[in-house]
Structure 1
Amino acid sequence: MKIYTPKDFPLPFETAVTIGSFDGIHLGHKNLFRETFALSKELGVTPLLVSFDPHPRTVLFPEANFKLLTTFEEKLDLFFRLNIENIAIIPFSVSVAQLTPDLFVEEYLVDNFKAKGIVIGFNFRFGRKREGDPEFLKRLGERFGFVVKMVNPVTVDHTTVSSTLIRQTIEKGDIEKTNLFLGHRYFLIGKVIKGQGIGKKLGFPTANIEIPKNKLLPPSGVYAVWVYYQNQRFKGAMNIGFKPTFEQKELSVEVHLLGFNQELYGKQLKVEFVKKIRPERKFGSIEELKTQISKDCELIETILND
């Protein structure tokens, strides 16, 4: 996988391009990638995926506290798994946002990326104040010599898949529907940090994971997860919340790896969500909590064995 940044522009080859933020990289995005690859073969050029970093909303509306489905690191992980070979990153800024649609196309798609084909979604908008639309892009294609292919939306159960829809299912804790719309399991990548050691005292040691503040997390509760560490996969019980039994004030994200007892401080873990098994609640005693955790682990074992 080759990642191109402004120091590499203009690229030394002609391309078929798809462009977007691709937050979540869901079924609709994956369809765009497939169509871009097909168009590149048809035109005899290199397929190129163009994305922005940071996400445009975080630049244009910093006060909105916008949460990402995929951090930049997670996005690259998915691109690699999808065998995307060529990626160009446009550093997003207010000045980029102020480019008129025709200037954006000329500067980036024509001059920098030498686009001979552009694949877009049905709701594609671009340029200053999102003034550019598919029809305008087609007219620019006639002027600059590239073809435009518009791809229909992907629907699941008569519902159009979108990042907004997926964000809503995550916020509800509906992990199974989230994963259906994504076409892969929702996941996070983070470094293990020092915790309070409560899990270890209870007999269920946990890895506390440091999560970027702008990462969208499911609601507080216990989740069945797969945990990836050093190219190995482990069953896991993840707790997101405030540990009400211990009256903790800060949100913690921690995972207990079933049948695993190695030191993980400072290590990086990838955690894939499979199912929410219960909300977080306060227990009357430590023994009651330990009994429940034991039941949680048994249930998670069953879920992940299916």
Structure 2
Amino acid sequence: MKKYDSILDFKNNKSKTIITIGTFDGVHIGHKSILEKLKKRTNNGEYESVVLTFFPHPRMVLNQESNIKLINTIEEKTNLLESFGIDFLIIHPFDSTFSNLSAEEFVKNILVDQLNVHEIIIGYDHRFGKNRSADINDLINFGKEYDFLVDQIGAKEIDEIAVSSTKIRKALQDGDIKLANQYLGYSYFFSGKVIEGKQIGRTIGFPTANIQLQESYKMLPKNGVYVVSSKIDDVLYYGMMNIGKNPTIGENEQSIEVHFFEFNQDLYKKTIEISILTTIREEIKFNTINDLRNQLEHDKKYSINYINNIKQ
């Protein structure tokens, strides 16, 4: 897969393209059916596949007060899309100039002249152009005028894969990892650098790696305790993670702390990827450190039982 950071950088003189367009946040099971259709259309080598997506997310530009967090960072989204065998990925900067393109300017200047479109695969509810003024019927009419096909993904097909990035964000906000992972088709994950912590966990027998997110716009699930896994130096380790403010010890800032089982390596300053497997419980304020320690023992037993079950 070849990646371009702008539509204007795209160069393809070999053949016409089949394109799909979207934000693709999460690259979830709903997206999967569209991407597999795109790949199937181009398997014979006559056309090349193009995914056109955007960054920042349009809502970050058009509604700056939304404070939207994203399911995937750009790097994560790129890696997930690459796994589908797409020929070209274009991540175009979404800004006010782009948002002000008329529907016909977008079709003529970008889809036809720049991307050499033969066919576009798009949802029935897709809207485009300035103020999202044009719809699928306009796109079909443009296709007749400029000689390209429109494969409309109908309401029934979309309902059958009733998944959306909004639903996944809601599941994460609720701490419902099982549902989020079901929608995604993979375990929700994030990457971060291990930074120096206050080492309180070490004093109660639960040393933790303190993680700092790589990207501030990356979404985290609700504060709570989770079963996690991480591949470190090509070895898969399991553990449990707390996201929250550690109310028992009077912390005020949110932190991400992971306690790995059967692990004693120094991770300081390393960047690691954490996959969240399931939810254990909400974050709780305990009366004493000893109560906290006892709960962590229960959490560990729960985690190990869960891990043993998924290994079977």
TM-score bracket, normalised by the shorter chain, equals over 0.9
Could you tell me which residue of structure 2 aligns to residue 5 of structure 1? Answer: 5
Distance 1:256 1:64, change over 3 A: same
43-52 or 6-15, which deviates more = 6-15
What is the aligned counterpart of 2:115 among 105, 113, 116?
A: 113
Matching residue of 1:195 = 197
Q: What secondary structure does 1:275 align onto? A: strand
Say whether 1:231 aligns with 2:224. no
Post-superposition offset of 1:200: 2.1
Measured after TM superposition, the shift of residue 56 of structure 1 is 1.0
After TM superposition, give the deviation of residue 85 of structure 1 in Å.
4.1
2:268 to 248, 265, 288: 265
Mark the CA change 1:9 to 1:274 in structure 2 (over 3 Å): closer, same or farther. Answer: same
Deviation string for 1:173-203 (max 9, x for gaps)? 1111111111111111222222221222222
Q: d(CA) in 2 for partners of 1:43 and 1:150?
A: 22
- Contact 2:39/2:85 (8 A) holds in 1: no
Change (3 A) 1:20 1:88: same
Aligned pairs (5 A) from 1:1-306 = 1-6=1-6, 8-13=9-14, 14-41=16-43, 44-152=46-154, 153-155=157-159, 160-211=162-213, 212-306=215-309
SS state at 2:207 partner: coil
Q: With structure 1 as the length reference, what TM-score do the two structures score?
A: 0.93
Give the superposition deviation at 1:280: 0.7
Q: How many pairs were matched up?
A: 304
- Does the CA-based 8 Å contact 2:48-2:87 persist in structure 1? no
Structure 1 contact 236–256 (Cα < 8 Å) conserved: yes
Letter in 2 for 1:92: F
Query: Is the 8 Å Cα contact of residues 69 and 219 (structure 2) preserved in structure 1?
Result: yes
- Tell whether the 8 Å contact from 2:36 to 2:84 is kept in structure 1 after alignment: no
Code of the aligned partner of 1:188: F
Give 1:242's aligned amino acid: K
Q: Is contact 1:173-1:276 (8 Å) kept?
A: yes
Q: Matches of 1:29 and 1:136 in 2, distance apart?
A: 23
Query: 1:278 deviation in Å?
Result: 0.8
Cα deviations by residue, 1:139-182 (Å, 9 ceiling, x for unpaired):
111122211111244446xx721111111111111111111111
Question: Letter of the aligned partner of 1:253 in structure 2?
Answer: I
Question: What's the offset of the Cα at 1:86?
Answer: 2.2
Q: Structure 1 residues 80-89 or 213-222, which shifts more?
A: 80-89
> Is the 2:39–2:86 contact (alpha carbons within 8 Å) kept by the matching residues of 1?
no
Give the 3-state SS of the residue equivalent to 1:79 in structure 2. Answer: helix
Instruction: Specify the SS of the correspondent of 1:160.
Output: coil
Q: Aligned equivalents of 1:190 and 1:106: distance in 2? A: 42
Letter of the 1:133 partner, please give it.
D
CA spacing shift, 1:305–1:64, aligned 2, 3 Å: same
**Structure 1: runs of 5+ lacking an equivalent:** none
CA pair 102-43 structure 1, distance change in 2 beyond 3 A: farther
Amino acid at match of 1:300: S
- Aligned residue for 1:169, secondary structure, equals helix
Partner Cα separation in structure 2 for residue 155 and residue 260 of structure 1: 44
**What is the aligned-residue identity percentage?**
38
Unaligned runs of 5+ in 2: none
Give the Cα separation in 1 of the matches to 2:144 and 2:217. 40
Structure 1 residues 198-245: Cα deviation after superposition (integer angstroms, max 9, x where no partner)? 222222221111123322211111001122333332112010000001
Q: Displacement of 1:50 after TM fit?
A: 1.1
Distance 2:199 2:164 in 1: 39
Q: CA RMSD in A?
A: 1.8
Q: CA deviation at 1:23?
A: 0.9
